[in-house]
């Protein structure tokens, strides 16, 4: 009886465990530890010098100017090579069918006569070194012209570099200014939101009318739109600069604000640097030199040309230093020629007139470039001076607008000012801070224009 009771108890316990296993969820199993995610790489921080270097490495217009400058230097080297003697090794074997008789045209005794009377023997070997030189006034003038063109291309390359630097500076500080405007818009949005909360609290306390809440809410909506526009402008400025710096303009990066601007240099120092280091002026001057040498090269076609040839080696029926009976085959020959131009149907005269027309155009370009440089120097210097002076005034205006907003909010809380006055103070502060960002951008660009004009950037 006791055994049956124990058996029934064990069966009941087993059924209970099965029922619990069906009801309760399975116990969680220990899982393998998951690897921690790799820390994200922080965006690169780029200085102005690094931005300029990256833009120089990526800009196609600058690389085109670089290739043109290198090609012009090679043209000058080729023109110089044309003035120097050139040497060549010449080897030849010539066989001519004999005509069946003997002659004494060879070195010693009788030998088979060649069928072609222009040839010296039926077998002829040539192994020679040829040295040639041609001298003319036209070649010398062409070399001088190619050197002037190379100098002009070098100046154009520097001008392209400075133009790119100006664009990079404008984009760099444009992005910094856009970032500052985003911060300005965010502060204005927070200030507007705070004012909305204040008007709601005062309305609940029956201290102000509902019109103040409506006015604050309208101002808050306007600040939201301005913040969205500022963020969009910042992203556009980031992409515009990214196009110059990276293969993928969407690459994340940050900018390192430069140090405070130094004092503006004196006017005489700026004028001296601009006159010595301006690539546009140097390019126009070298273009004039090139056109002047082109005139000389065209006029040199009226003069004679001198030619010189020196040949050393073997030209004999045997490919040997010594022929039969110790006849010396190795020797040399030399010739000098002088060519005088006689008649070319006035082609040289027309080329001279063409070159003179190009010289007049180059002279006019140089004169215009000199006047332009004088005007740009005054314009850029005055712009930099005024922009630098206005930055301090704009900072003062922003501080004054900030203090005015604080006092107006205190007066509104005390019931001495209207909501319209607070909204106007908020707008004045936002405009003053945006104007300060624009003034800083204007100052940086004006200084960059002046520095590129003088060659210090």
Residues 337, 341, 344: CA angle, nearest 5 degrees: 145
Return the pLDDT at 168: 93
Predicted local confidence at residue 68, as pLDDT: 95
Q: What span, in angstroms and rounded, lies between the C-alpha atoms of 119 and 232?
A: 86
pLDDT (0 to 100) of residue 109: 64
Q: What are phi and psi for residue 422, nearest 5 degrees?
A: -65, -45
Residue 182 predicted with pLDDT over 80 = yes
Task: Taking each helix axis as running N to C, give the angle between helix 347-413 and helix 279-299, from 0 to 180 degrees, rounded to the nearest 10.
Answer: 170
Q: Find, among 173, 220, 228, the residue nearest to 197 by Cα.
A: 220
Domain ranges of the chain: 44-84+136-303+343-454, 85-135+307-340
Residue 20 has what pLDDT? 32
Q: What pLDDT is attached to residue 108?
A: 61
Say if CB 327 and CB 315 are below 8 A apart.
no
Query: What pTM value is reported for the model?
Result: 0.77
Range of weakest confidence among 19-28, 112-121, 232-241, 351-360:
19-28
Taking CA 256 as the corner, what is the angle to CA 40 and CA 242, rounded to the nearest 5 degrees?
Answer: 70
Residue 136 has pLDDT above 50, yes or no: yes
> What pLDDT was estimated at residue 235?
95
CA atoms of 338 and 310, how far apart (whole Å): 15
Structure tokens belonging to residue 99 = 């005509």
Q: Of 172, 174, 155, which is closest to residue 51 (Cα–Cα)?
A: 172
Radius of gyration of the chain (CA): 44
Superfamily in which the 44-84+136-303+343-454 domain is placed by CATH = Outer membrane efflux proteins (OEP) (1.20.1600.10)
* pLDDT tens-digit map of 335-363: 999 999 999 899 999 999 999 999 999 99
Q: Quick one: DSSP state of residue 193? A: H
* Cα–Cα distance, 437 to 439 (Å, whole number): 5
d(CA 113, CA 98): 6
Q: At what angle do helices 137-204 and 60-83 cross, to 10 degrees?
A: 170
Mean pLDDT value across the chain: 85
Distance CA 338, CA 167 (A): 57
Q: What topology is assigned to 85-135+307-340 in CATH?
A: Outer membrane efflux proteins (OEP) (2.20.200)
pLDDT reading at 26 higher than 70: no
135 pLDDT band, cuts 50/70/90, is confident
Pick from 440, 455, 361, 412: nearest CA to 161: 455
* Inter-CA distances, 451 with 190, 222, 269, 328, Å: 40, 40, 12, 73
d(CA 395, CA 260): 14
Least confident of 101-110, 188-197, 357-366: 101-110
What is the average pLDDT across 383-394? 90
| Strand extents, DSSP E, 197-285 | 253-255
In the beta sheet, which residues pair with residue 309?
A: 132, 335
User: 338: part of which helix (H) or strand (E)?
Assistant: strand 330-339
For residue 241, give the H/E element and its range: helix 210-245
Percent above pLDDT 90 for the chain = 52
Check residue 3 and give its pLDDT: 44
Query: 311-337 burial, b for 16+ CB within 10 Å, e for fewer?
Result: bebbbbbbeeeebeeeeebeeeeeeee
């Amino acid at each position: 009886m006791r055994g049956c009771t124990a058996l029934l108890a064990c069966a009941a316990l087993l059924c209970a465990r099965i029922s619990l296993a069906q009801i309760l969820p399975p116990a969680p199993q220990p899982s393998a530890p998951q690897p921690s995610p790799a820390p994200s790489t922080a965006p690169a921080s780029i200085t102005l010098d690094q931005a300029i270097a990256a833009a120089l490495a990526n800009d196609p217009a600058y690389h085109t100017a670089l290739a043109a400058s290198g090609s012009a230097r090679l043209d000058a080297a080729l023109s110089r090579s044309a003035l120097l003697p050139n040497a060549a090794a010449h080897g030849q074997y010539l066989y001519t069918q004999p005509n069946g008789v003997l002659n004494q045209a060879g070195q010693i005794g009788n030998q088979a006569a060649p069928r072609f009377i222009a040839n010296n023997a039926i077998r002829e070997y040539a192994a020679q070194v040829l040295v040639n030189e041609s001298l003319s006034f036209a070649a010398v003038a062409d070399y001088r012209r190619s050197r002037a063109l190379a100098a002009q291309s070098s100046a154009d390359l520097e001008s392209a570099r400075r133009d790119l630097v100006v664009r990079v500076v404008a984009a760099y500080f444009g992005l910094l200014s856009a970032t500052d405007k985003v911060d300005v818009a965010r502060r204005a949005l927070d200030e507007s939101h705070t004012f909305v909360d204040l008007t709601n609290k005062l309305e609940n306390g029956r201290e102000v009318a509902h019109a103040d809440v409506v006015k604050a809410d309208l101002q808050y909506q306007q600040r939201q739109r301005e913040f969205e526009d500022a963020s969009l402008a910042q992203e556009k400025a980031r992409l515009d600069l990214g196009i110059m710096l990276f293969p993928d303009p969407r690459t994340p990066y940050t900018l390192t604000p430069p140090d405070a601007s130094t004092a503006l240099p004196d006017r005489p120092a700026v004028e001296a640097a601009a006159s010595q280091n301006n690539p546009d002026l140097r390019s126009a001057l070298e273009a004039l030199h090139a056109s002047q040498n082109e005139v000389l090269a065209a006029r040199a076609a009226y003069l004679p040309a001198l030619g010189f040839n020196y040949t050393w080696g073997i030209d004999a029926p045997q490919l040997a230093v010594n022929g039969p009976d110790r006849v010396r085959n190795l020797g040399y020959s030399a010739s000098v020629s002088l060519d005088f131009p006689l008649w070319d149907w006035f082609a040289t005269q027309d080329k001279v007139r063409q070159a003179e027309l190009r010289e007049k155009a180059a002279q006019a370009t140089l004169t215009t470039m000199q006047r332009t440089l004088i005007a740009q120097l005054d314009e850029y210097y005055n712009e930099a001076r005024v922009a630098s002076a206005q930055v301090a005034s704009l900072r003062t205006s922003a501080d004054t607008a900030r203090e005015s907003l604080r006092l107006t909010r205190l007066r509104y809380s005390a019931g001495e000012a209207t909501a319209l006055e607070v909204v106007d103070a908020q707008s004045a502060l936002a405009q003053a801070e945006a104007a300060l960002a624009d003034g800083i951008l204007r100052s940086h660009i004006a200084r960059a224009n002046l520095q590129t004009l003088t060659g210090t950037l």
